[in-house]
Structure 1
Amino acid sequence: MRYMATYDLMETLRNTNQWLGASALSMASYPVFSMVPNPALNWMAAWGEVTERTFQRMVTKPDWGIDSITGDDGRDHIVTVETTVKRAFGDLIHFNVAGRAPMARRVLLVAPMSGHYATLLRSTVRSLLPDCDVYVTDWHNARDIPVSEGKFDIEDYTVYLMDFMRELGSDLHVIAVCQPAPLTLAATAYLAELDPDAQPRTLTLIGGPIDPDATPTDVTDFGRRVTMGQLEETMIQRVGFQRKGVGRLVYPGLLQLASFVSMNGERHAQAFSDQIGRVARGESGDHDAHNKFYDEYLAVMDMPAEFYLSTVERIFKGLEIAQNRFVVNGHKVDMGKITNVAVKTVEGGKDDISAPGQCVAALALCTGLPDDKKASYLEPDAGHYGIFAGRSWRNNIRPLVLDFIDANSAAPAPKKAAKSTPKAANKNLAANG
């Protein structure tokens, strides 16, 4: 009950702040006050508007907001989000583009389960849609999953990825962003051993902690500073009575959000102070830069406790992926079993979450993969967000990823065939690693 009471207390504080913002906005916007304009009332209304929106967004799953794209024919094509595979802890969704011919590139974008919804990759999806048939892993908020559905840890996550890859077939190109990179690598290796025909053609790992010890950051080194007992005692709570997942142990999204904000507290405080000023002066809009960013940033989801704890214990503390000792359902997964899937890593030179060196470590683990199927790229001036959603992604990284996909789209040759000539795109990208 203690953990449940704490969860409900956090929700009560969030709800109270949302109510205070709404009350301040309503009171300061009372029409009679317009007879005697008062800057203090304008500021109060602005504070209320920003506060209400901020705390309300924390429990709202954002929409994808991708209604249409312009095709090569110059026409606008309607985009609908369809569920291809429905599972308890996450779905495989497809962005269906109406009236468009089948695309040669079929991409599975593996979204993180790290506190934010898959919609965090909205701009990534939008940038890929004109050139690819896009599928995304859409993870569910743990607070909405009944306890009867059982546990969900990193082994279950890996099996989900394997099932999704099997569903989509081998003419697939997988892109894993941040947290899922190690588990996507493991899922590919496990498929290479159990079901080789279901392997994707390429695997692109973007800013993921394959080897957190390669270049530790404050984020990846967190697991070294605390014990598992301390984590379980301070971070894990039971879902409160308002949610379908009542009683489920989770790592609350509100706690994760607090840790995100604390990393750059002064910058966030200044951003909200500036936004209040813009609202008071009538210079803001529902979709201005501040609201577009924070509507997504503030929307957080709870993670299953077993997933969070097993990630810290086995990926960051135990280094099971980095040392090729990862086990799924009692079976040791060997990254060296990957022999046909072209693997590429992408890192940002200014990434303060998964620093350069952590992700490229995947290539050394793929001992069964020839050098002509390995590639890496370092974007010198990009931070963590920029390597998959910012200007660096759009202008530099995305074109290179598409080139890598095209260079390795052909079905793998039988094992007895002679080695193929190294692809130019792979050689060029590997030189940047």
Structure 2
Amino acid sequence: MRYMTTYDLMETFRNTNQWLGASALSMASYPIFALTPNPALQWMAAWGEVTERTFQRMVVKPDWGIESITGEDGRDHLVNVETVVERPFGDLIHFDVTGREEMDRRVLLVAPMSGHYATLLRSTVRSLLPDCEVYVTDWHNARDIPVSAGKFDVEDYTLYLMDFMRELGSDLHVIAVCQPAPLTLAATAYLAELDPKAQPRSLTLIGGPIDPDATPTDVTDFGRRVTMGQLEETMIQRVGFKYSGVGRLVYPGLLQLSSFMSMNAERHGQAFMDQIARVSRGEASDHDPHNKFYDEYLAVMDMPAEFYLSTVERIFKNGEIAKNEFVVDGHKVDIGAITSVAVKTVEGAKDDISAPGQCVAALDLLTGLPDGKKASHLEPEAGHYGIFAGRSWRNNIRPLVLDFIDANSEAPAERNRTKPRKAKAKQKAANKNTAA
């Protein structure tokens, strides 16, 4: 019960700060105070506005906010988010573009389960929609999942991915971003053994810790310094009575956020002070760069305790994927069983979370895959976020990924078709290694 108490204590602290911000904003904005303008009251109102918004966003799942895209016909097409597969810990969703024939490129974007919602990939989805049918793994907040739904660890995550791939058929291209890269690789290898016809056409791994020890970072060093007992004692709590998942063991989103913020506390503190100053001068807006970034950054979700602990122990500490010793449901997965799925790795030269060398290590594990189906790319000057959502992604990486998809899409394949197939564009040769 003490862990449930600490969970509720964190929520109480968050709720109190949200209330304090709202109260300060309301009091300092009282109309009669405008008779004698006071800079202190203006600053107080600005502090209240920023504080209320900050602490409110911590428990709100962001909306995708992708209402329409411009098609090849020059018209705007509405975008609807549809649930294809509904599961307790995560859904498979599809961004359906109304009035448009089904695109030839079909992409499954595997979102991380690492503290933030799948909406962290919003700009990635938006950039792919004009050229692809986009499907995304939409993971649920563990605090909202009843204990009766059972556990969810790295093996369950891998099995979910396999089910999603089977549902979409083999005429599919998978893109895994960051944390899910090792498990997506394992899921593809397991499909190669159990159900070869369900394998995707290609697999693109972006900034993922396939071999965390290849290039150590602060993240991997933390996994080495702290024991599993220490992690379980300090990071794991029980969901409080306020939510449907009451009693479930989780790594709380608020605790994760405090860890994120502490890594760059001075920079975040200055960003909020600057925003308060802008609000007090009337220079801020609802969707200015600060709010656009922090509305997403502050929106955190609880992770199932067993998923977090098994990720640290099996992926980082024991290196089961890197050593090709990963076991799913009692079966040892052989990554070398992948013989036909083209695999491309993408890394950022300035990635301080999954440093260069960690992701490209996947290619050495693919002993059964011809070199002609392997590719890699190292993006210069790009950090972790930039390789899947920033300028580097838009201008350099995205075109390379689309070329890679086209180069491995020649033959027809099985798929669950609901719309007519669009004529295929001319293929490009893109299975090559590039680095700068």
TM over 0.5: yes
| Corresponding residue number in structure 1 for 2:423 | none
Instruction: Work out the CA distance in 2 between the residues paired with 1:151 and 1:391.
Output: 38
Contact 1:142 / 1:302 at 8 angstroms: preserved in 2? yes
Is 2:425 the counterpart of 1:424?
A: no
| Structure 2 SS opposite 1:41 | helix
Instruction: Work out the CA distance in 2 between the residues paired with 1:259 and 1:296.
Output: 16
Which residue identity lines up with residue 137 of structure 2 in the other structure? T
| Corresponding residue number in structure 2 for 1:79 | 79
Instruction: Work out the CA distance in 1 between the residues paired with 2:287 and 2:429.
Output: 42
| Corresponding residue number in structure 2 for 1:143 | 143
Is 2:397 the counterpart of 1:394?
A: no
Is 2:70 the counterpart of 1:65?
A: no
| Structure 2 SS opposite 1:345 | strand
Is 2:231 the counterpart of 1:228?
A: no
Instruction: Work out the CA distance in 2 between the residues paired with 1:82 and 1:92.
Output: 9
Contact 1:212 / 1:221 at 8 angstroms: preserved in 2? no
Instruction: Work out the CA distance in 1 between the residues paired with 2:53 and 2:435.
Output: 43
For residue 431 of structure 1, report the CA deviation from its aligned partner.
3.7
| Corresponding residue number in structure 2 for 1:419 | none
| Structure 1 SS opposite 2:404 | helix
For residue 412 of structure 1, report the CA deviation from its aligned partner.
8.9
Is 2:133 the counterpart of 1:128?
A: no
Aligned ranges for residues 79-118 of structure 1 at < 5 Å? 79-118=79-118
| Structure 2 SS opposite 1:389 | coil
Aligned ranges for residues 34-433 of structure 1 at < 5 Å? 34-411=34-411, 424-427=429-432, 430-432=433-435
Instruction: Work out the CA distance in 2 between the residues paired with 1:102 and 1:412.
Output: 15
For residue 411 of structure 1, report the CA deviation from its aligned partner.
3.5
| Structure 2 SS opposite 1:212 | coil
Which residue identity lines up with residue 215 of structure 1 in the other structure? T
Instruction: Work out the CA distance in 2 between the residues paired with 1:327 and 1:292.
Output: 40
Contact 1:215 / 1:358 at 8 angstroms: preserved in 2? yes
| Structure 1 SS opposite 2:220 | coil
Contact 1:253 / 1:302 at 8 angstroms: preserved in 2? yes
Which residue identity lines up with residue 435 of structure 2 in the other structure? N
In the TM superposition, what whole-angstrom CA distance separates every residue of 1:130-188 from its partner, at most 9, and x where no partner exists? 00000000000000000000000000000000000000000000000000000000000
Contact 1:337 / 1:368 at 8 angstroms: preserved in 2? yes
| Structure 2 SS opposite 1:424 | coil
For residue 112 of structure 1, report the CA deviation from its aligned partner.
0.2
Contact 2:348 / 2:380 at 8 angstroms: preserved in 1? yes
Percent identity of paired positions between Structure 1 and Structure 2? 86
Which residue identity lines up with residue 293 of structure 2 in the other structure? F
> Structure 1, unaligned stretches of length 5 or more?
414-422
Which residue identity lines up with residue 12 of structure 1 in the other structure? T
In the TM superposition, what whole-angstrom CA distance separates every residue of 1:193-235 from its partner, at most 9, and x where no partner exists? 0000000000000000000000010012211000000000000
For residue 101 of structure 1, report the CA deviation from its aligned partner.
1.2
TM-score (norm 2): 0.96
Instruction: Work out the CA distance in 1 between the residues paired with 2:158 and 2:383.
Output: 27
Instruction: Work out the CA distance in 1 between the residues paired with 2:237 and 2:434.
Output: 47
TM-score (norm 1): 0.97
Contact 1:340 / 1:412 at 8 angstroms: preserved in 2? no
Contact 1:201 / 1:411 at 8 angstroms: preserved in 2? no
Instruction: Work out the CA distance in 1 between the residues paired with 2:255 and 2:435.
Output: 38
Contact 1:251 / 1:303 at 8 angstroms: preserved in 2? yes
| Structure 2 SS opposite 1:95 | strand
Instruction: Work out the CA distance in 1 between the residues paired with 2:236 and 2:200.
Output: 36
Instruction: Work out the CA distance in 1 between the residues paired with 2:254 and 2:345.
Output: 31
Contact 2:171 / 2:412 at 8 angstroms: preserved in 1? no
RMSD across aligned positions (CA) = 1.2
Instruction: Work out the CA distance in 2 between the residues paired with 1:325 and 1:259.
Output: 30
> Structure 2, unaligned stretches of length 5 or more?
414-427
| Corresponding residue number in structure 1 for 2:417 | none
Contact 1:238 / 1:247 at 8 angstroms: preserved in 2? yes
- Runs (4 or more) in structure 1 with deviation over 6 Å come to none
Instruction: Work out the CA distance in 2 between the residues paired with 1:281 and 1:357.
Output: 46
Is 2:38 the counterpart of 1:33?
A: no
Contact 2:404 / 2:429 at 8 angstroms: preserved in 1? no
Instruction: Work out the CA distance in 1 between the residues paired with 2:264 and 2:128.
Output: 30
| Structure 1 SS opposite 2:435 | coil
Which residue identity lines up with residue 94 of structure 1 in the other structure? H
| Structure 2 SS opposite 1:354 | coil
Which residue identity lines up with residue 337 of structure 2 in the other structure? K
